Structures are given as structure tokens and as C-alpha cells.
Amino acid sequence: MTAMTKWAISDHDLIQKDVVQILRFYGFTAQEEAPARIPEGGYGRTDVVGRKGHITIGVEIVDSGDVARDAKKLVMNGYTYKYIIVLRPSKHVDKILVDGEIVKVLDPTSFEHELRRDLRIPPTHPYFRGGLQQEPEVEIENITSSILQEIRDELYDIGLEMYEKDVFDALRIVYISGNLEVERRVGYNPAKKIPGEYRPKNIPPEVLAILEKLQLVDAQRVGTGYSRKLVLFPNERGREAGHAIVTETISKYQDELSRLIQNYGPQIWIVLMGSLSTRYPSQDDLYISTR
């Protein structure tokens, strides 16, 4: 449960300037009081507008109450991402749907987190640290979380919960393989470093960065010359999470797996033997671990 900071209408200008600085920090051209169409007809203003390439950001800052008009204005002006920052929300509303488009409704301290989620900012990019940016106060609940819930919570805390499936899929592959090639050298000149010397393989770079940030894997470069590559290994925490992911997946498809085993038992065993043979060359070494 997050302890909400109390804001007043007198903070409007301060927050407005802070939003401008945040947008500029992420490479946007941003301005206050930008001209915009209004629902009543004619033209008025949007509190903050940011532009970078084909992406536009529209932000309205309101005291409290009905935000429907402001949501309509943001949609009318066609901003790519639309936010309403409410200083004194009377009730919790996290988004409004207008003509099929989503307008997010936030408190001031949540704006940067939502912006990073929408723009898919990688975890290696630092947060804006000026203005009103602050870590939310959190009341820790006295509950025991599973390792997967811990990872979900950590992804949410850094604004990257939309990568949950990508992270879990990648970690499952790393866990099952034991070691996974994630970069291969494609350009090699011993005399100088070549841009683009390594090419990603199996896992996108942004997902690799998240796995390392959450301390789920260890990475090591192996080989020489054109054979040099980056290999990923699950560490102790990664093995625990990988085991939980595989167990969760098996439980999810337990009925289907039971049917396949019943109908195709001998064939499935042949497939398993073949898939494990490169890692375990002799039958004496073959085993199936429950860990």
C-alpha cells in the first residue's frame, strides 16, 4: 500500500515544470501551455506537450473531480500517450477510455513510472532525479512471497512489468539449457574494435539487461576469434526461479501432458532421449531432475 503525498492546487505550476523536465530528460522537446483544440470548440491549452520524432505526449494537471473533459481534450488532439495528473483524487481511477483510446490518470509521483512503461525504457537507463522525483513510501505487508512473485514485484518497482512474459520465457530457456549463447561475434579485427562486433542471439538485449539487473543470471565470454561468444548461466536465484517457472508451466498443462503420455508414451521417451543426448552422451549419465 503506497502512502500518498498530499498536493494542493498551488503545486500545479511546480508539477507542470517538473513534467517538462522529465520529458526533456528522455529526449523530448517539451513545452508548457501548448495550443490545443478543446471539447467546447475552438482552441485552448494543454498543460504540457512533448514531442520526439513521431511520438507525442499530452499531459493535463488537474486539482480533483471530473476528469472526463480533460481526457476528451487529450484524445481530440491525437497525442500518442495521454496522461492526467490529479493532485487530489477523490477516488482511485487509473485510466479512462475515450473513443477507444486510453488516457491514464495518475498522481504526480507516478508519472515517470508510467512514461517509462509506455515508452519501454530499458532498465539500464537512469531515472530522472530532479524536481519532484521521489521514491514512493511503501508499507511492507507481512506476507511470504514466492520467488516468481518477488520478480513480478521487482519488475513493477522499476516500471517494467510489461516485460514479465519475456523475462520468464528467457529465464526458462536459460534454466533448461544450463548455458545459453546470447551474443555471437560477427565482425572480428584484432587490430581494432568494430561497431556491431557482436550480434544478439536467442534473447533480445533489453531482456538480457533485465535478467542481469534482477540478478538472475551470470554472463561469461568464451572462445576466441570468430568463435567468441557471450554465454548466460542461471545463478542460484535464477535456478530457483527457473525451476518454479517450469513447475508452474507443467502444472498449467498437466491434463494435456497426461493425455500425451498416455497416448504416445514410447514416442515421447524417444524424443526425450534424443533431446538430452548431446548434453548427456551416455545412458548412464541420463537423468531427470526434480530440482
List pLDDT tens digits, range 172-230.
999 988 888 888 877 666 666 655 577 788 888 888 889 999 999 998 888 877 778 88
Share of the chain above pLDDT 70, in %: 75
Q: Is 112 exposed, middle or buried (0-12, 13-18, 19+ CB in 10 A)?
A: buried
Angle of the 254-276 helix axis to the 236-252 helix axis, nearest 10 = 130
Rounded-to-integer distance, Cα 136 and Cα 109, Å: 7
Residues 6+ apart with CB under 8 A from 268: 260, 261
Rounded-to-integer distance, Cα 137 and Cα 50, Å: 29
Per-residue CA distances from 291 to 219, 245, 246, 247, 268 (Å)? 22, 12, 10, 10, 21
- The residues of the chain scoring below 70 in pLDDT are 1-10, 65-66, 89-93, 129-145, 187-196, 265-266, 268-291
User: Quick one: pLDDT at residue 92?
Assistant: 58
User: Quick one: pLDDT at residue 129?
Assistant: 59
User: Quick one: pLDDT at residue 171?
Assistant: 92
CA 116 to chain centre: 8
Under 8 Å between Cβ of 219 and 142 = no
Apex 96 CA angle, 120 and 139, nearest 5: 65
User: Quick one: pLDDT at residue 131?
Assistant: 45
Is the pTM of the predicted complex or chain greater than 0.85? no
How many C-beta atoms lie closer than 10 Å to residue 16's C-beta?
A: 17
Q: What's the first-to-final CA gap in the chain, in angstroms?
A: 35
Task: Write phi, then psi, for 133 (nearest 5 degrees).
Answer: -60, 130
Per-residue CA distances from 127 to 23, 121, 133, 158 (Å)? 11, 10, 9, 9
Rounded-to-integer distance, Cα 257 and Cα 126, Å: 44
User: Quick one: pLDDT at residue 108?
Assistant: 81
